[in-house]
Amino acid sequence: MLVSMKAILDDANRNYYGVMAMNSINIEMARAGIMAAEEEHSPIIMQFGPGQMKNHAHAEEMLPVIKELASRVHVPVALNLDHGSDFHTIADCINRGFTNVMYDGSSLPYEENVKRTAIITALAHGMGCSVEGELGHVGQADQEDDADTDLYTDPGLAMDFVEKTGIDALAVAIGTAHGAYPKGKIPKLDFERLHLLKETLHIPLVLHGGSGSGEENLRKAVAGGINKINVCTDAFEAGKTAMLKEIGKNPEIDYMHLCMAAEAGIKQFVKDYMKVIGSSGRYIYGAAKQAGNE
């Protein structure tokens, strides 16, 4: 059930829950995420960025895989281009059938970010594809950008940005960063800023750098209005940990069984994450409840 990311996030926005957007660079990750979503009766967003597509997650190979897997399940699945910046790459992804593209102009001067984001939105909407923009700048954890308040999203400017670009979701900078934080560190999020952004914009908000943010921060972020949470580093780590555990038990293990172990580890990680952010049980009748809100 491959759908627009807008359809997924509009429901999350109305009902105050989060949806996991997992960078998935091979069939094992895609299958782990989508089958976890089916078992949890949860929506999910599959995504990868231009660098990942160049190195390993080739769009011409991954898109048919994700379409096939999505056709087997009874929950909504979206396919997102993460952190797109090059016009031709973004247009190619829209043409291939991505159901959302993120245009990241956060490092550009404000007016140029507005101009380019509006162009991408007009292009994508004409093809039934939704768009995520970014205002403020979510930097790198190893450079301690999470603590640089100069990079945080300004609520007043965000309203102008949304109105001028027509985007469907906005990635905001409130204290997270991409990559792995120094050992033992949990970022401090600006929840007051988040509440003001939600009250001002009333659209789906996106948290980049969800890895390593801690369960308490994630729950509070969702309660404050975050609807999409990007996860890459923690998902990669879940697969790596599962593989290393199997090697430790059996150094002679073959490659196929390592791949199977990684997939199982990522699948369990995704299911646990969905419970934390409140998306479990959203797409089923009967007595099932949203685990994150119980």
- 214 marked as part of a ligand binding site: no
- 84 marked as part of a ligand binding site: no
- 292 DSSP assignment: G
Contact between residue 242 and residue 262 where contact means Cβ atoms under 8 Å apart: yes
Contact between residue 167 and residue 204 where contact means Cβ atoms under 8 Å apart: no
- 208 DSSP assignment: S
- 230 marked as part of a ligand binding site: yes
Q: CB burial class (10 A; 0-12, 13-18, 19+) of residue 209?
A: buried
At 120, the amino acid letter reads I
- 211 marked as part of a ligand binding site: yes
- Is 82 among the catalytic positions? yes
Positive or negative, the CA dihedral 177, 272, 17, 63 is positive
- 18 marked as part of a ligand binding site: no
- 160 marked as part of a ligand binding site: no
150-181 b/e (C-beta count within 10 Å ≥ 16 → b)? ebbbbbeebeebbeebebbbbbbbbbbbbebb
Q: What is the DSSP string of 22-85?
A: EE--SHHHHHHHHHHHHHHT--EEEEE-HHHHHHT--HHHHHHHHHHHHHT-SS-EEEEEEEE-
Length of the chain equals 294
- 56 marked as part of a ligand binding site: no
- 166 marked as part of a ligand binding site: no
Q: Identify the CA nearest to 69 among candidates 8, 28, 103, 120.
A: 28
- 129 marked as part of a ligand binding site: no
- 233 marked as part of a ligand binding site: yes
Annotated catalytic residue, options 82, 145, 146, 168: 82
- 202 marked as part of a ligand binding site: no
Helix (H, G, I), strand (E, B) or coil at 271: helix
Helix (H, G, I), strand (E, B) or coil at 136: coil
- 83 marked as part of a ligand binding site: yes
- 178 marked as part of a ligand binding site: yes
The annotated binding site for Zn(2+) is made up of 83, 104, 134, 178, 208
The annotated binding site for dihydroxyacetone phosphate is made up of 179, 209-211, 230-233
Which amino acids are annotated catalytic? 82
The annotated binding site is made up of 83, 104, 134, 178-179, 208-211, 230-233
